[in-house]
Structure 1
Amino acid sequence: MELPRIVSVDDHVIEPAHLFERWLPARYRDRGPRPLTTGIGRLEYTGGRYTVAMDPDGPPADWWIYEDLAAPYKRVIAAVGFDRDEMTLEGITRAEMRPGCWDPAERLKDMDLNHVEASLCFPTFPRFCGQTFAEAHDKEVALACVRAYNDWMVEEWCGDSGGRLIPLCLIPLWDVDLAVAEIHRNAARGVRAVTFSELPTCLGLPSIHTGYWDPFFAACQETGTVVNMHIGSSSQMPAASPDAPPAVQATLSFNNAMASLADFLFSGVLVRHPRLTLAYSEGQMGWIPYALERADDVWREHRAWGGVRDLVPEPPSTYYYRQVFCCFFRDKHGIEALDTVGRDNATFETDYPHVDSTFPHTRQVALDHVRGLDDETVRKLMRGNAIRMLGLDLDPMGG
């Protein structure tokens, strides 16, 4: 079977050490993020959170120092090139990483090795939707950092890629008016993707039910900007017990995406903004059929007392099929349920360079999933749906 070249809707970038020195205005640099290479101490995982400290005598790692935050890069987020049993929570320097983690020219080479034509990349140091800057004390500098990151993303990371690296920008999460302005600023230079929190209340922000975010959603609808929500963009991952190992979180990670989808389906947001597009990143898709079945059943049987009788006029699945995209990288159960997941709603990802990445075997992994599907469906899953979702200037048939 001939597999078309892939358009991956969820990859990641490790920020280069020069990012803020080069892109942050000079008047903010002494208060902005600074790179540092130093030793890392023992990393501990307790109650669903990681704690780590610097240790000059420990193994070297590359860090970002910003206000009272010291954030090291860990091997699991730059795992490509390591054996499976070496993909640990140990610190790592950029010199130890595969250069495609942070160098755009090298990333394009790795994409060629991995049967990938185009890639949308989430941030690392800012965290998945810019929580690092939302938590900062000095919001003037934080806003400058958001803009600097976006300028770097558009002009340096994606700039010389010929459209193969797709810009994904941040917003200042703490101010919806500033967020709207940033959507318009980036849309004017061709950006069609923004990252947002799956569950903003977990970040201490207003919920999507309050109407607070409606100007942001309206701006995204007006500009054709896709709202991308990565698992973990609520700064928490589900765990069954506070002392459960990280493997439990990894198994349950789709739960946040499922909770977020239910939130949107019953919020009225997709009713009020019928051309708004949502994309769930790294959440897989095998859970979607039952989530839609349950949502529709609740709407039919419980909408009066459930508070949505006058808010959601059609079965919730109507809005999912019209406005929501999911993605997968290993999910054969989702493929078996593809007609319910939606042949026009599913996209593919490689998760480069994270521990879940299928690099450099993505072509074979994809083939194992799509064997037996018709050519049109394969093209939709591997590239066509992503091209349509993001409005890319790529041939849906090509590759």
Structure 2
Amino acid sequence: MDPMISSDSHIVEPPDLWEKWLTADFRPRAPKLVKDEEGGDAWLYNDGGAPAPLGLVTVTRGRPREELRWSGAHYDAINQGNFEGSARVKEMLEDGVVAEVIYSPQRTMRHFMLGTDDEFHLAGIRAYNDWLARDFCAKAPERLIGIAQMPSVGVDAAIAEMKRAKPLGHRGVLLSAWPSGNTNLSEADDPFFAEAERLGMPISIHCALSARGKVAPKPKTATEEKMSRGEATGGKQVSMLSGAGLDTMPLIMGEIILTGVHDRFPKLQFVSVESGAGWVPYYAEQMDDRYDRNKYWAKIKLERKPSEYVRSNWSFTFIIDHYGVKNRHAVGVDRLMWSTDYPHHGCDWPRSRSVVAEMFEDVSAAERRAITYDNAARLYGIRVGE
């Protein structure tokens, strides 16, 4: 089988990340490493919730699915590639993966982005971006492809961080909120899009966006407290894990397309991350229909049909998506990018090759290579494995 690139992988922050990389003035307010109720390692954030265990966001060699749970995981027992770059390379090569695109842990970013202190917000994001580029990805920059987390305290700050991130080696940016910090997308965000287009930095959106100050603190209902402790095994939690991005990504993509962002910035590329692709043909069809019916009163005038921007300006990462693969021509073979989601619970390490072989059983070798390697390599300038 050809070499493979994971277009969406993650890290778990190392235990000493904030001590080493966060500005000294802010270290007392950094996330704190504590113990969960089973004695495992967990991070305590400032969102009002219980400590966040390592369990479902880490990979541990030899752990069967029957032992997967929220809590009880320890840094010294989980795969060291969860947080150390050299070890990650060994683990991904064992899985048949030659390069990974690395995204930030969003529960950690919330710690800095929820509050109203702009300097704390920026310090945390800069510390993470510095560590990712200068430590984790620096161990193998041709294989570990960093995506810089963007702040949401204003367009100027977001542009400054993007311009700072590119020479560090980051090859794209991740939005967790609109760059302006506003609730809705507007032309206030255009300067950021213009600079991203100029720099050739793809913009990723991982499942959802949240306006600054509009993100509710982590609820502390009985069910969610049980979930944080690994006690809840009911349908609601698994339903949430099953539908990541399905209630948000189509609308985010639609808002970007239907507000004319692609007409103003035709070379700008967006990536829908970890939201799958099976829904894309349906939603693209609905956009075309609703645009045609409503463009007059809505005063929307696009240069092309909405679905055409999907095929020219968007890429879609997926983990397990048989429907997306079967409908690859409706999505666009050149718009699909396979991923492992390592080290989160949805990954199949170290069996990714067998999973891909089964999912692509009826797909030609050329199209399989496009989806599992070529498309990500082209978007991010990855040369390893050619």
TM-score normalized with structure 2 length: 0.87
Supply the AA of the counterpart residue of 1:171: M
Q: How does 1:27-106 map to 2 (within 5 A)?
A: 28-38=25-35, 40-41=36-37, 58-64=38-44, 71-81=51-61, 82-106=63-87
Cα distance in 1 for partners of 2:82, 2:27 equals 26
Q: Deviations over 1:240-290 (max 9, x none)?
A: xx9961122223322222221212221211111111110011111111111
Structure 2 residue 114 is the aligned partner of structure 1 residue 147: no
Give per-residue Cα distances to partners, 1:100-157, cap 9 Å, x unaligned.
2112111111101100011112222654xx3331213432132122111111110101
Unmatched tracts of structure 2, length 5 or more: 219-223, 225-233
Partner of residue 119 from structure 1, selected from 95, 100, 105: 100
Could you tell me which residue of structure 1 aligns to residue 145 of structure 2? 166
Match of 2:334 among 326, 344, 356: 344
Offset at 1:215? Answer: 1.4
Q: Counterparts of 1:131 and 1:63 in 2: how far apart (Å)?
A: 12
Per-residue CA deviation, residues 56-100 of structure 1 (Å, 9 max, x unaligned), is xx5332324569777433311114432213222225331232222
Instruction: Specify the alignment match of 2:239 in structure 1.
Output: 248
SS in 2 for 1:368: helix
- 2:221 alignment partner in structure 1: none
Match in the other structure for 1:45: none
Whichever residue aligns with residue 315 of structure 1, its letter is K
Name the CA distance, whole Å, in 2 between partners of 1:67 and 1:369: 39
Residue 307 (1) aligns with residue 305 (2): no
Equivalence for 2:168: 189
Matched, 1:220 2:200: no
Alignment match of 1:318 (pick from 308, 314, 317): 308
Q: Distance in 1 between matches of 2:57 and 2:283?
A: 30
Q: Who is 2:182 aligned against? A: 205
Deviations 1:188-209 (A, max 9, x none): 3332211113x759x973322x
Q: Deviations 1:185-234 (Å, cap 9, x if unpaired)?
A: 1113332211113x759x973322x2121111111111111111112554
- Whichever residue aligns with residue 147 of structure 2, its letter is L
Residue 353 of structure 1 aligns to a residue in which SS?
A: coil
Query: One-letter code of the match for 1:336?
Result: K
Pick one of 248, 256, 278 that aligns with 1:286: 278
Aligned residue among 6, 11, 31 for 1:8: 6
Instruction: Give 3-state SS (helix, strand or coil) of 1:94's partner.
Output: coil
- Structure 1: distance between partners of 2:130 and 2:326: 41
Taking the aligned partners of 2:209 and 2:345, their CA distance within structure 1 comes to 17
Q: State the aligned residue count.
A: 365
Supply the distance in 2 between the matched residues of 1:286 and 1:60 (Cα, whole angstroms).
Answer: 37
Distance 1:260 1:232, change over 3 A: closer
| Structure 1 residue 386 corresponds to structure 2 residue 373 | no
1:373 is matched by which residue type in structure 2? V
Q: The residue matched to 1:261 in structure 2 has which SS?
A: helix
Instruction: Report if the CA contact (8 A) 1:133-1:145 is conserved.
Output: yes
**1:258 and 2:256 equivalent?**
no
Q: CA 1:226–1:370 in 2, change beyond 3 Å: closer, same or farther? A: same
Residue 298 (str. 1) matches residue 279 (str. 2): no
Check whether the contact 1:170–1:195 (CA below 8 A) recurs between aligned residues: yes
CA distance 1:366–1:111, shift in 2 (3 Å)? same
In structure 2, relative to structure 1, the CA distance for the partners of 1:132 and 1:35 (3 Å cut) is: closer
TM-score normalised to structure 1 length: 0.84
Q: Which amino acid aligns with 1:37?
A: V
CA contact (8 A) 1:121 1:166 kept: yes
Distance in 2 of aligned mates of 1:336 and 1:144 = 44
CA distance in 2, matches of 1:87, 1:204: 37
Question: In the alignment, which residue of structure 1 is the partner of 2:265?
Answer: 273
- Does the CA contact (< 8 Å) of 1:6 and 1:116 recur in 2? yes
Q: For the aligned residues, what is the CA RMSD?
A: 2.6
- In the alignment, structure 1 segments of 5+ residues that lack a partner are 42-57
- Bigger shift: 118-127 or 211-220? 118-127
Secondary structure of the structure 2 residue equivalent to 1:121: strand
Percent identity (aligned): 25
2:356 aligned with 1:359: no
Change (3 A) 1:12 1:145: same
SS of residue matched to 1:36 = strand
Distance 1:186 1:206 in 2: 25
> 2:359, 2:33 → 1: CA distance?
42
CA distance in 2, matches of 1:218, 1:353: 33
Q: CA deviation at 1:358?
A: 1.7
Where is the helix percentage greater, Structure 1 or Structure 2?
A: 2
